[in-house]
Structure 1
Amino acid sequence: MLALKQNAHPPIPSPFGVPDVSDGRPPRTLNDWLSYQQQTHPDAIALGLERVQTIWQRLQAGAVAQRVITVAGTNGKGSTAAMLEALGRHAGWKVGLYTSPHLLRYNERVRVAGESVSDAALIDAFERIEAARGELPLTFFEWGTLAALLVFAESKLDLAVLEVGLGGRLDAVNIIDADVAVVTTVALDHMDLLGGDRESIGREKVGIARAHKPLVLGELDPPDSLLKAAQRLGAKLIRRGREFDCEQRLGGRWQYRQENLKFDLPWPTLVAPCQMSNAATALVAIRCLQPIDQTIAAAALADVQLPGRMQRLQRECELLLDVAHNPQAVQQLARWLGSNRAVGATHAVFACLADKDAPALVAPLMSLVDAWHLAGLPDAGARAHPIAEAWPKVAGLLSRSLVDHHPTVAEALQVARERAAPGDRIVIYGSFHTVAKAMQELSVPGQ
Structure 2
Amino acid sequence: MRTYQETIDWLFSNLPMFQRVGASAMKKDLTNISELCEYLGNPQERFKTIHIAGTNGKGSTSHMFASILHEAGYKVGLTTSPHLKDFRERIRMNGAMCEEEFVIDFVAKHEQKILEQGASFFEIAIAMSFEYFAQQKVDIAVIETGLGGRLDSTNIILPELSVITNIALEHTQFLGDTLELIAFEKGGIIKPNTPVVIGETTSETKKVFTDLATERNSKIIFAEEKFFQDLPSDLIGSYQIKNRRTVLTAVEQLIAQGWEISSENISNGLLNVVKNTNLRGRWDILDQNPLIVADTAHNPHGLLEIAKQINEQSYNNLHLVLGFVNDKDVKESLSFFPKMATYYFCEPDVPRKLPIDELRNVVPTDLKNVHYFDSVAKALIAAKESAQENDMIYTGGSTFVVAEVI
TM-score (norm 2): 0.91
Which among 371, 382, 390 is matched to residue 342 of structure 2? 371
- What amino acid does structure 1 have at the position aligned with 2:32? R
In the TM superposition, residue 132 of structure 1 has moved relative to its aligned partner by 4.2
- How is 1:48-447 mapped onto 2 (pairs within 5 angstroms)? 48-63=29-44, 66-133=47-114, 135-221=116-202, 222-242=205-225, 244-246=226-228, 255=229, 265-289=230-254, 290-305=259-274, 306-342=279-315, 344-367=316-339, 370-377=341-348, 379-381=349-351, 383-394=352-363, 397-439=364-406
3-state SS of 1:280 partner = helix
In the TM superposition, residue 61 of structure 1 has moved relative to its aligned partner by 4.7
- What amino acid does structure 2 have at the position aligned with 1:158? D
Give yes or no for contact 2:33–2:153 (8 Å, CA) kept in 1.
Answer: yes
Over residues 138-193 of structure 1, what are the superposed CA-to-partner deviations in whole Å (9 max), with x where a residue is unaligned?
01111111001100010111110000000011111111111110000100111111
3-state SS of 1:175 partner = coil
CA–CA distance in 2 between the matches of 1:85 and 1:346? 34
Larger % of helix: which?
Answer: 2
Give yes or no for contact 1:349–1:416 (8 Å, CA) kept in 2.
Answer: yes
RMSD: 1.9
- How is 1:26-45 mapped onto 2 (pairs within 5 angstroms)? 28-41=2-15
Over residues 224-246 of structure 1, what are the superposed CA-to-partner deviations in whole Å (9 max), with x where a residue is unaligned?
2232122212211011233x334
Give yes or no for contact 1:59–1:128 (8 Å, CA) kept in 2.
Answer: no
- How is 1:5-16 mapped onto 2 (pairs within 5 angstroms)? none
Over residues 50-95 of structure 1, what are the superposed CA-to-partner deviations in whole Å (9 max), with x where a residue is unaligned?
1110121111154455420010000000000000110100011000
CA–CA distance in 2 between the matches of 1:310 and 1:182? 23
Give yes or no for contact 1:88–1:286 (8 Å, CA) kept in 2.
Answer: no
In the TM superposition, residue 370 of structure 1 has moved relative to its aligned partner by 1.9
CA–CA distance in 2 between the matches of 1:145 and 1:431? 22
Call closer, same or farther: CA 1:218–1:44 in 2, change over 3 Å.
closer
Give yes or no for contact 2:150–2:186 (8 Å, CA) kept in 1.
Answer: yes
- What amino acid does structure 2 have at the position aligned with 1:100? S
Call closer, same or farther: CA 1:59–1:409 in 2, change over 3 Å.
same
CA–CA distance in 2 between the matches of 1:311 and 1:65? 35
3-state SS of 2:36 partner = helix
- What amino acid does structure 2 have at the position aligned with 1:59? L
Over residues 250-291 of structure 1, what are the superposed CA-to-partner deviations in whole Å (9 max), with x where a residue is unaligned?
xxxxx1xxxxxxxxx532211222212211222232333325
In the TM superposition, residue 29 of structure 1 has moved relative to its aligned partner by 2.6
- What amino acid does structure 2 have at the position aligned with 1:273? S
Give yes or no for contact 1:65–1:160 (8 Å, CA) kept in 2.
Answer: no
Call closer, same or farther: CA 1:44–1:108 in 2, change over 3 Å.
closer
Identity rate of aligned residues, in percent?
Answer: 31
- Structure 2 unaligned residues grouped into runs of 5+: 17-23
Give yes or no for contact 1:168–1:208 (8 Å, CA) kept in 2.
Answer: yes
Over residues 276-334 of structure 1, what are the superposed CA-to-partner deviations in whole Å (9 max), with x where a residue is unaligned?
22112222323333253322211110001221111112244110101111011011111
CA–CA distance in 2 between the matches of 1:391 and 1:358? 11
- What amino acid does structure 2 have at the position aligned with 1:432? T
Call closer, same or farther: CA 1:299–1:366 in 2, change over 3 Å.
same
3-state SS of 1:428 partner = strand
In the TM superposition, residue 341 of structure 1 has moved relative to its aligned partner by 2.7
Call closer, same or farther: CA 1:128–1:161 in 2, change over 3 Å.
farther
- Matched residue, 1:9: none
CA–CA distance in 2 between the matches of 1:220 and 1:204? 15
